[in-house]
Amino acid sequence: MSAFAAPIAEQIWDMKYRFKDADGTPRDVTVEDTWRRIAKDLAKVEKDPAAWEERFYAALEDFKYLPAGRITAGAGTARQVTLFNCFVMGTVPDSMGGIFDMLKEAALTMQQGGGIGYDFSTIRPKGADVKGVAADASGPLSFMDVWDAMCRTIMSAGSRRGAMMATMRCDHPDIEEFIAAKSDPARLRMFNMSVLVTDPFMEAVKADGSWDLVFGDEVYRTVQARDLWNRIMRATYDYAEPGVIFIDRINEANNLNYCETIAATNPCGEQPLPPYGACLLGSINLARLVSDPFEAAAALDEAALDDLVAVAVRMMDNVVDASKFPLEAQAREAQAKRRIGLGVTGLADALLMVGLRYGSDEAARQTERWLHRIARAAYLASVQLAKEKGAFPLFDAEGYLASGTMQGMDDDVRAAVREHGIRNALLTSIAPTGTISLYAGNVSSGIEPVFAYAYTRKVLQKDGSRTEEEVVDYAVQLWREKFGDRDLPDYFVNAQTLSPADHVKMQAAAQKWVDSSISKTINCPEDISFDAFKDVYMQAWDSGCKGCTTYRPNAVTGSVLSVAEDKPAETAPEVITTDAAEPQQPHGDVIYMSEPLDRPNELEGNTYKVKWPDSEHALYITINDIVLNGHRRPFEVFINSKNMEHFAWTVALTRMISAVFRRGGDVSFVVEELKAVFDPRGGAWMRGKYIPSILAAIGGVIEQHMIATGFIAGEGMGLKSDPQAQVVGLEGARGQACTSCGQYDMRMVEGCMTCGSCGYSKCG
């Protein structure tokens, strides 16, 4: 019997978490091998490794505790990788040399796959004097463009997708330019952006007071606070950014406010971190802890929860010692504070199993009770670790207990911390869990509601055929197994039917017992009024949230997959593009990408030699392919020759062709375009055929390669024209295609565009 509850779970494991050799040979034969690998590696530092390995394995078994993807993929592999998900980089100095030192550190961190956050408030505003060079400053937005270009470069060089968060204080003189930056659809695409909103600013907004924009000791100008707030709200309403981070609330609550100041978060916002701060993540799968689901006696097994949390905290503490770090400063920061981010997933499913409607008052109260239980168990487990292994090096009892979070903690927990110290400075966070939730059997993600009860995804098989499989929410599948075709009860709700107020209520309920923050998206209907939209953010502020991220589908942000209420599953229609004049067969894996494909570290390819008559030197054409869902498709082209006369145009040609290949879709039209080029000086006979130009010869080589790899069926069977224009109109109606698997199933989840079919996330 397989441990996987759904085919998609096994596919995610094989694609993302299964340990394989460089040639693709699996080291993990089963998922049990993966659990054993992680348990063994994280138990190595214990005094009794064998005993703790068994306890760690039991926690991982049946997907009860889900370490973040970095840990699941990297632990026990001996690879030089970081097991940490989140980084905030050092404070950006207001000097050219310092700025580019920071850029280098960002590149090194992103090269290892780390998501990073930066506060750009420390860079002087546009137009300010630059002493010593008789020039005006270009401002923080100009340097953000440099970071954006660096991130694109790192991506194209073969690293996993980079993710960055940019923050700016609400009193920075360039804040209005920051707010409007995403109105340009081509600018800062590698960034998520959030405004650092202070308590005095929110008070000024409510009082309709004035607001000074300052840098250093200088007031640059004064605006009306409410006008600036409306600018933030309008930008978010129109194009989904910037988000809002209530930074004073974060610093007041922070257990470490006596020794650090926070000014930025990781890309999805659940980890506010100091300069060089790092945090690792993991989630308790609440859906696996409910006994007697859908029965009168249904309940979360709280004793099992306490034990699971304690083991998870110990495992995560061991990760601090097991992980590598891109920068030494990050390693020092992690060791000094031993921050961890233990969260939950499957909350919505667990609520359904005990008969509660997500967003109801009772569901919010139950969420608060469960999260309180987790916080207690986590803190007491960390105190126990401190008794055994020592408190984190920067622990100071008086400063720690004076923080906002600890003042609200239970008296017995406070007493234990005062007496014994605590091993981990912060312990709880609710992170994006899109991929690991699919891996765990499609449980609901994080604290988000169920997105869809079921949907159909198309899966490309290795032989090029397509199959359809239904992806069913974990709780819905349990209901089907128990009750067959009986209608779902009224308390089954999903993201399509909830009001924004219900979302905020649930976020606030969870936030009370989360010492870091929460990655959550508040879904808003497209037709929500601007005033009602603004009220969502004010509700988040008034109810104690540390930040707010919304998503309103529109022409700029794109639609997402809609799910009909009266259907068990929605099928995203497949795109088969045909030429108007001549019917065509489907070509290869017809996937249209809204963003360029990432380049893996290794690609399969072939090199071909072309000797053009009357030319002294041959051309060598290398075509590399990427494998998507088991199907090989062209990804990049290189053309080399000793003939320097050819250098400029061959470089230009390879870049253009490679750029087209990386956007996805049926790119066979490139062959026909090249084959149609005629040289006015005449062509040549090659292998019994007249080739009208050297470019046509290159097109012929690419065509033969596509035939050999199965991308097109035969000679002359490529598309005669670029089909992209025919697809654009469809994409607007169906949303964006996933750049990893091609399915039209992108949705905003936990603050990031995420694919429901393969788990790919824009935020990495």
- Is the pLDDT at 545 greater than 60, yes or no? yes
Q: Residues 3-55: pLDDT tens digits?
A: 898 888 998 899 899 999 988 899 999 999 999 999 999 999 999 999 999 99
Q: Quick one: CA dihedral 654, 660, 661, 667, positive or negative?
A: negative
Q: Which of 70-74, 279-283, 544-548, 754-758 has the lowest mean pLDDT?
A: 754-758
Pairing, β 243-246 against β 547-548:
antiparallel
Q: What is the pLDDT of residue 466?
A: 66
Q: How far is CA 653 from CA 123, 578, 696, in A?
A: 40, 26, 12
Q: What is the pLDDT of residue 726?
A: 43
Per the DSSP assignment, residues forming a β-bridge with 130 are: 135
Residue with the bigger pLDDT between 618 and 181: it is 181
Q: Residues 478-487: pLDDT tens digits?
A: 999 999 989 9
Q: Residue 691: which pLDDT band, with cuts at 50, 70 and 90?
A: confident
Q: Specify whether the CB–CB gap between 626 and 603 falls below 8 A.
A: yes
3-class DSSP assignment, residue 197: strand
Q: Residue 566: which pLDDT band, with cuts at 50, 70 and 90?
A: very low
234/123 Cα distance (integer angstroms) = 25
Q: What is the pLDDT of residue 727?
A: 40
Q: Please, what is the average pLDDT of the chain? A: 86
Q: Residue 449: which pLDDT band, with cuts at 50, 70 and 90?
A: very high
| Tokens found for residue 266 | 């990781």
445/587 Cα distance (integer angstroms) = 35
Q: Residues 289-324: pLDDT tens digits?
A: 999 999 999 999 999 999 999 999 999 999 999 999
Residue written as token pair 């017992």: 513
Q: What is the pLDDT of residue 186?
A: 72
Residues with catalytic roles: 266, 268, 270
* Residue 23 burial (C-beta neighbours within 10 Å; 0-12, 13-18, 19+): exposed
Q: Which of 25-29, 212-216, 683-687, 760-764 has the lowest mean pLDDT?
A: 760-764
Q: What is the pLDDT of residue 576?
A: 27
Which helix (DSSP H) or strand (DSSP E) does residue 571 occupy? strand 570-571
Report the pLDDT averaged over residues 725-744. Answer: 52
Q: Residues 140-178: pLDDT tens digits?
A: 999 999 898 888 777 654 445 568 999 999 999 999 999
Number of DSSP helices (H) and strands (E) in the chain, helices first: 25, 29
Q: What is the pLDDT of residue 534?
A: 97
Q: What is the pLDDT of residue 689?
A: 77
Instruction: Find the DSSP H helices in 214-338.
Output: 225-239, 247-253, 302-322, 328-337
Residue with the bigger pLDDT between 42 and 755: it is 42
Q: What is the pLDDT of residue 543?
A: 96
349/639 Cα distance (integer angstroms) = 53
Report the pLDDT averaged over residues 277-296. Answer: 96
Q: What percent of the chain has pLDDT over 70?
A: 86
Report the pLDDT averaged over residues 395-404. Answer: 97
Q: What is the pLDDT of residue 497?
A: 86
- Greatest Cα pair distance, the chain, in angstroms, is 90
3/438 Cα distance (integer angstroms) = 13
Rg, Å, the chain Cα set: 27
Neighbours of 676 (CB within 10 A): 13
Q: Specify whether the CB–CB gap between 605 and 706 falls below 8 A.
A: no
Q: Which of 564-578, 607-621, 629-643 has the lowest mean pLDDT?
A: 564-578
Torsion of CA 108, 109, 110, 111, to 10 degrees: 50
Q: Residue 221 — φ and ψ, nearest 5°?
A: -170, 170
- Is the pLDDT at 584 greater than 70, yes or no? no
Report the pLDDT averaged over residues 583-601. Answer: 46
Question: Which of 149, 405, 148 lies closest to 255 in space, CA to CA?
Answer: 405
Q: Which of 14-18, 61-65, 554-558, 681-685 has the lowest mean pLDDT?
A: 554-558
**Which region holds residue 241: left if phi is over 0, alpha if psi is between -120 and 50, else beta?**
beta
Q: Residues 520-532: pLDDT tens digits?
A: 999 999 899 999 9
Q: How far is CA 332 from the centre of its chain?
A: 26
Question: Which of 239, 240, 279, 247 lies closest to 119 in space, CA to CA?
Answer: 247
Q: Residue 684: which pLDDT band, with cuts at 50, 70 and 90?
A: confident
| Tokens found for residue 289 | 């802890």
Q: What is the pLDDT of residue 220?
A: 96
- Is the pLDDT at 763 greater than 70, yes or no? no
Spell out the residues 6+ positions from residue 10 whose beta carbon is closer than 8 angstroms to its own. 2, 4, 31
Residue with the bigger pLDDT between 583 and 740: it is 740
Q: Residue 722: which pLDDT band, with cuts at 50, 70 and 90?
A: low
How much is the pTM? Answer: 0.79
Q: What is the DSSP letter of 134?
A: T
Residue with the bigger pLDDT between 657 and 198: it is 198
Report the pLDDT averaged over residues 744-757. Answer: 71
